[in-house]
Amino acid sequence: MKRLFAAILLLCALTASAQIAPYDRQTWGETDIIGTSRYVAMAGAMAAVGGDASAASDNPAGLGLYRRDELMITLEHQIDKPSLGGLTGKFSCAQASWNFCFLNDRMTGVVANNIMLNYRRVKNFNRQYTVPLRAMDYSQTDVMAMKTDGLPEIDLEGDRAWYDSEVGWLSKIGFEGYLIDPDSTGTNLWMPANAGAVEGALGVRESGSVDEFSVSWGLNVSNKWYLGLELGARSLTYLKTTSYEEFFAGGNSYYLDSYVSASGVGFLSKIGLLYRPTRFLRFGAAFHAPVPMAITVHNYADLASNNGARYTVKSPDNSHSPSGFAQPLKAVAGMAFQIGQYGLVSLEYDYRHDLDKRVLDTHLMKVGLEGVVANNWFINVGYALKMRTLEHGKWADPIHQLDYNSVRMDTEFANLMNAHYISGGVSFRHKYVVAGLAYQCCLKKENIRFHELETAAVGLNTTTHRIVLSLSWRR
């Protein structure tokens, strides 16, 4: 029985390794500045401000600043325009929450307890882009040949090869399409069937989201110390379709269409602290533990090659595999200055670290301002900068490699270089009703590569417009 259990664990580990690529961890682990209108308008710089449902999700201690019950919903419309693609739009519910405040009639000790039920969208996958024909130093068929890892030809023959854990599907589909040949030396080395100049083109479409469902608790001690805890679930849905084509100098060509979908759920936990030494100054900090997720990945591809003759190959489409990974941990620190009755200034720094060393850390700096323009009327503006780790004074731009036995056939990947968020908004806050409207513009720069042997990247700039409306009722 112990041996059977160990074998099952080993099989799951191999499946997970084959299904989740390094760039999946980077893509699925990213979050965005999404939430209430006030939160978006201040570029998310609210870790030391609190009193807001989305801010309380970043720093649960901010929940302790609530003094009444509140029911809130936020709707948003997101528009994405890549520099190499078409316009896409998505309407969604960005946030919904219900806060229950238990207020004590005292100024010292436990002043208030708050419990919040919260839904929040933290990422939208909503983009399509096309990289037109470009000359390349290496073909994707070089990757197909390399990933055989010295397998003899007999191991790639027949349908059984699709289910052999030692055979990568990229090599198998290239073999069936006559795109790779065994080396004549008999050393089990493989070479691309076509040599010379090669041009490639790429089209990608992504959709899906990452959502959080949680219960939060916030404690107010003497209106000076605020503690918070959030527990819940994070869900992922993701779909990517990729169209890849190459044209060789001799007139041969091939088309590879791949499909990847993923869905899963994980457990999230966050703790936070907020300290107000004076009426005009606040400090906040929070820690988000890594989110372990159970993921089911579905992957298949179709290939059509013109390599002296025409060949069509379809991979199996039943590669539903349970896999697992942990989304990054996150550390948050911030401070806020109250400017009398005129408003406030808030600063925040977020650090994200993936447990997989192949995925670079992310740094996010935020600044937000709030001003009082009239009774019950407020304006907010904000700016945030997201960037990857620097290496030798330059933006880090790693090459992501597929495992030799991976079932994945989508070889392209995108590295985030930096993203700028510019935002503003206006809100009306009454004793019982709050309404807010915000706009955010995100300018994101990424480097796209067709496959891991291509050192020269294609720059992709994506402009995202987000319009946010929040409505709430208090009592």
Please state, for a pLDDT cut of 70, what percent of the chain lies above it: 93
Q: How many helices (H) and strands (E) does the chain have?
A: 7, 21
- For the chain, what is the radius of gyration of the CA atoms? 25
pLDDT in tens, 60-87: 999 999 999 999 999 999 999 999 988 8
| β-pair partners for 366 | 348, 384
For residue 468, the Cα-to-chain-centroid distance in whole angstroms is 20
User: What are the C-alpha distances in Å from 436 to residues 377, 424, 430, 470?
Assistant: 10, 11, 11, 5
Query: 3-state SS string over 414-475?
Result: EEEEEEEEEEEEEEEECCCEEEEEEEEEEEEEEEEECCCCCCCCEEEEEEEEEEEEEEEEEC
Task: Give the pLDDT confidence score for residue 185 in this predicted structure.
Answer: 64
Q: Which two structure tokens, joined as six digits, stand for 355? A: 């447990």
274-306 tens-digit pLDDT: 999 998 999 999 999 999 999 999 999 999 999
Is the model's pLDDT at 7 over the cut of 50? no
Query: Is pLDDT at 346 greater than 50 in this prediction?
Result: yes
The percentage of the chain sitting over the pLDDT mark of 90, rounded to a whole number, equals: 74
Q: Which residues pair with 128 in a beta bridge?
A: 205
pTM for the complete prediction? 0.91
Q: With a cut of 60, say whether residue 392 has pLDDT above it.
A: no
Tens digits of per-residue pLDDT, 203-228?
A: 999 999 999 999 999 999 999 999 99
Distance CA 247, CA 260 (A): 24
Lowest mean pLDDT among 7-16, 235-244, 298-307, 415-424: 7-16
Angle at 464 between CA 462 and CA 467, to 5 degrees: 175
Confidence of residue 360 (pLDDT cuts 50, 70, 90): confident
- CA–CA dist 143, 399 (Å, integer): 13
Domains in the chain, CATH or no CATH each = 2-139+194-474 (2.40.160.60)
301-320: average pLDDT? 88
Is pLDDT larger for residue 14 or for residue 56?
A: 56
How far from chain centre, in Å, is Cα 246? 29
Are the beta carbons of 78 and 126 closer than 8 angstroms? yes
How sure is the predictor about 391, in pLDDT bands with cuts at 50, 70 and 90? low
pLDDT of 320: 63
The predicted structure's pLDDT at residue 13: 38
Mean pLDDT taken over the chain: 90
